[in-house]
Amino acid sequence: MKLGVFVSDFRNTVDTLDRLKAEKLGIILVQNGVYHASIKENGKSSPLLEKSANLYALSEDLETRGLTGSSVDSRVKVINYSDLVDLIFNDYEKLAWL
């Protein structure tokens, strides 16, 4: 199964993600979830970025929070709404929201 997971909060969601099993996992950071892509706590990146998954952050949500693409971790691909629609319809069979 190809699973796309929307992460919309900056709280620790790694435990929930660890329980999800998929042949292809995509983590799509939206709303406050985009902070995972750019904020470091105690000099460390979010543990969510260590997941074996394709990582995406929605550019419009980054901009709304005053963040830029250059502040995003290199493991995360910045996408726009058009890219998001392509992911939903072409890359992932099922979607979940955390």
User: What is the model's pLDDT at position 13?
Assistant: 66
* Segment holding 96, helix H or strand E: strand 94-97
**Residuewise pLDDT in 10s, the chain (98 residues):** 899 999 998 876 677 787 888 889 999 999 999 999 998 877 788 888 988 899 999 999 999 999 988 889 999 999 999 999 999 999 999 999 98
Domains and CATH numbers, the chain: 2-97 (3.40.1260.10)
What is the reported pLDDT for 77? 96
Residues in the chain, overall count? 98
Instruction: For residue 52, give Cα distances in angstroms to 16, 26, 64, 67, 76.
Output: 14, 9, 27, 24, 12
User: What is the pLDDT, as a whole number, of residue 17?
Assistant: 81
**Helix extents (H) in the chain:** 14-19, 35-38, 59-64, 81-86
